[in-house]
Amino acid sequence: IWEFERADVILVIGSNTTETHPVIGNYFKHLATYNGTKLMVVDPRAIELTEYAEIWLRQKSGTDVAWINGLMNVIINEGLYNKEFVENRTENFDEFRKVVSKYTPGKVEKITGIPEEKLIAAARMYGKADRGSIVFAMGITQHTTGTDNVLSLANLAMLCGMYW
């Protein structure tokens, strides 16, 4: 878990980390409090980590692909993605861009309940980070769209070149 110390931002989704992985959860609280690590929590419930999060996105259940696509749309539109990584290590970016372009912050708010301004702030936080970590658990995998949720998070990591 020591690698989290190097992260500028940690995105926690579908994980009540302090309850299910208390050592890691307490480490996240420590990093957010004393290390300057930005914590972003995406969960429909107010879990303990939301108290330490700079941003808490409270989505409607089952709408994870929509808010992740919206986040990526903002990151692309604001030029915050890692162009070199995308060009050299990914495929079909133009097609990908077309798909996520449909997920405007306004549309995402209608689908997910996440206010436009919070989605934009979250996109900027993650997109501007040099080193970001994505932490997820069964809250997004044990779901009818679990595979799509994980693929969307992988797309987010690749879009920003988060491969360290």
Q: What confidence score (pLDDT) does residue 163 get?
A: 67
What percent of the chain stands above pLDDT 90?
95
pLDDT in tens, 144-159: 999 999 999 999 999 9
Q: What confidence score (pLDDT) does residue 164 get?
A: 56
**In the sheet that 132-136 helps form, which strands lie side by side, from edge to edge?**
55-57, 38-42, 9-13, 132-136
For the chain, how many residues are written? Answer: 164
**Distance, first Cα to last Cα, the chain:** 14
Domain 2-159: which CATH number of 1.20.140.150, 1.10.1060.10, 2.60.120.10, 3.40.228.10: 3.40.228.10
pLDDT in tens, 42-97: 999 999 999 999 999 999 999 999 999 999 999 999 999 999 999 999 999 999 99
Overall pTM > 0.85: yes
Mean pLDDT of the chain: 96
pLDDT at position 8 over 90: yes
